[in-house]
Amino acid sequence: MRVTVFGASGLLGQELVRELSGEQLTAFSSSDADLRDRARVQEAVRNSRPDWIVLSAAYTDVDGCESNRDLAFAVNCEGVVNVAEAAREAGSRLLFLSTDYVFDGSKRSPYETTDARNPTSVYGESKARAEERLQEILPEACIARTSWLFGHGGKCFPATILKLASTRPEISVVNDQRGSPTFTRDLASAIVKLCRASARGIVHVTNSGSCTWYEFAIEIIREAGLPTKTKPVTTAEFPRPARRPAYSILSPNSLHAYDIHMPDWKDALHRYFAQAPERAAGVP
């Protein structure tokens, strides 16, 4: 299988490169191929002639998107259009990584792929619009929505919590937002399986189970064996520029339809520590 990855240096991209090491892989970081550069994207796809393109590149600074709307849409929407058009011209299949932030979080049962998009942040809006444009350009594309990513090789929630916990006797963590933490290694594995299954349409891909950020932090500190105390706080007590969904659990039904099942997030967190404890703890 010939695969081209856009976003190869990102948190997920690094795991995709490892997972696809046995395939005919071409991997581009944002510095190799800026999604906003239509000609460069076309050239990259034309030269690599992939069976599948996996598009994991994005402007993911959720709060930064609020003050940089034009950049968010240029990368997360128009950039996706550039890749989709290049894929169409080359006859390549496309798997696009999207997000739980396309929903407003008002639901109280897992979101299905058929639920209406209603983003409440610029980041979510840019990804929702990208999904719509992609479905217009490449109806057979696969849109893989995921949530709460963590992994090695970049900034993520466990690394942040460990850094804070190593210098403070107590930390405060939001306890009224609920979702499904997803390990990039498990997500990369599922993505490759979806490609091999010729998946199309929207698929929800997260580790199983759910928690709040506070519950996630408690488990991180427990796994690390740290004495730090954790205090639950509300979103209102911890204001951020971008509004986060209060509830963004994604139903696994669409993934199970391909006979792909994800491990529980606690199991994933345990492996995050076990596979490279020094990296998990943020030690160079």
Catalytic residues: 123
**C-alpha–C-alpha distance, residues 236 and 191, integer Å:** 35
Tell me which residue has tokens 């199983």.
208
Q: Quick check: 55 and 7 in contact, CB under 8 A? A: yes
Nearest to 212 by CA among 177, 188, 242: 177
243: helix, strand or coil: coil
How many residues does this entry show for the chain?
Answer: 284
Asked if 51 and 223 touch (Cβ cutoff 8 Å), the reply is no
Nearby residues of 181 by Cβ (< 8 Å), 6 or more positions away:
147, 148, 150, 157, 206, 207, 211, 216, 265, 268, 269
CA 201 to CA 240: how far, in whole Å? 32
Dihedral of the CA atoms 17, 63, 245, 143 (nearest 10)? Answer: -30
Longest dimension (CA), the chain: 56
> Tokens for 208?
């199983």
Residues 6+ apart with CB under 8 A from 149: 11, 12, 156, 182, 184, 187
Distance (Å, rounded) from C-alpha 59 to C-alpha 74? 9
